[in-house]
Chain A
Amino acid sequence: QQQVKQSPQSLIVQKGGISIINCAYENTAFDYFPWYQQFPGKGPALLIAIRPDVSEKKEGRFTISFNKSAKQFSLHIMDSQPGDSATYFCAASTGGYNKLIFGAGTRLAVHP
């Protein structure tokens, strides 16, 4: 199976709060898990990515947690800001080719 399942579909967080978006996958051949951020009228922008040999990766306010045994990974946005309001996509790919399988997306709204 090639699917990547993402939840929730939408999320409302207060400024300063933590935003958490979850993804699950089935294909154990996936070995690269990026997160993309997309603003209206723009293409997706790579935020942060992880490979299955580590359980966590942090870049600024963004953290990926990866659970290989559960085949799940999540994005945590600490100290969420109104400027973080966007649609977030998780994705996965297998080595050898640039072919990203995307989750359905999460629309995040951070209220001031």
Chain B
Amino acid sequence: KAGVTQTPRYLIKTRGQQVTLSCSPISGHRSVSWYQQTPGQGLQFLFEYFSETQRNKGNFPGRFSGRQFSNSRSEMNVSTLELGDSALYLCASSPDTGQGREFFGPGTRLTVL
């Protein structure tokens, strides 16, 4: 099976702009989670979607949002970008919810100038 794919792999934006990142889970996986990785804060959970419903949300401002489509593909959106949003954004998929077996994609490196 193909792994989790994320597009784009690299992105450069300026403050105030918005950005949309895309994630395609492993075939058959219905749960998609998003994480932010930074040198200072490490890996932090953003949100999880299962069957197009947000199941859980981390402690991030409302500028961070996401959605999941009927084919389990997911997008996350960050509006009004700030310098501190520069990070590696990781998507993880799981065949089910609640079991913790998450498989990560390579991430999207977002740089905000």
- Residues of A whose CB lies within 8 Å of any CB of B are 32, 34, 36, 41-46, 49, 89, 91, 93, 95-105
- The reply to whether A101 and B101 contact each other, CB–CB distance below 8 Å, is no
Interface stretch, picked from B14-22, B61-69, B73-81, B90-98, is B90-98
What are the 7 tightest A-B residue pairs by CB atom distance, in nearest-first order? Answer: A43-B104, A32-B100, A102-B43, A97-B56, A93-B100, A96-B98, A44-B104
- The reply to whether B103 and A98 contact each other, CB–CB distance below 8 Å, is no
- The reply to whether A98 and B104 contact each other, CB–CB distance below 8 Å, is no
CB of A92, distance to nearest CB on chain B (Å): 9
Complex-state Cα separation, A43 to B97, whole angstroms: 20
- The reply to whether B45 and A95 contact each other, CB–CB distance below 8 Å, is no
In-complex Cβ contact of B45 among A44, A49, A100 (8 A)? A100
CB of A86, distance to nearest CB on chain B (Å): 14
- The reply to whether A49 and B101 contact each other, CB–CB distance below 8 Å, is yes
When distances are taken between beta carbons in the complex, the residues of chain A under 8 Å from B99 are: 32, 98
Nearest-neighbor residue (CB-CB) of A30 within chain B: B100
Nearest-neighbor residue (CB-CB) of A102 within chain B: B43
- The reply to whether A42 and B106 contact each other, CB–CB distance below 8 Å, is yes
When distances are taken between beta carbons in the complex, the residues of chain B under 8 Å from A105 are: 42-43
CB of A45, distance to nearest CB on chain B (Å): 7
Using A43-B4, A43-B90, A43-B107 as known contacts, say yes or no to A98 and B42 having CB atoms under 8 A apart.
no
Complex-state Cα separation, A104 to B42, whole angstroms: 6
In-complex Cβ contact of B58 among A42, A44, A46, A99 (8 A)? A99
- The reply to whether A101 and B100 contact each other, CB–CB distance below 8 Å, is no
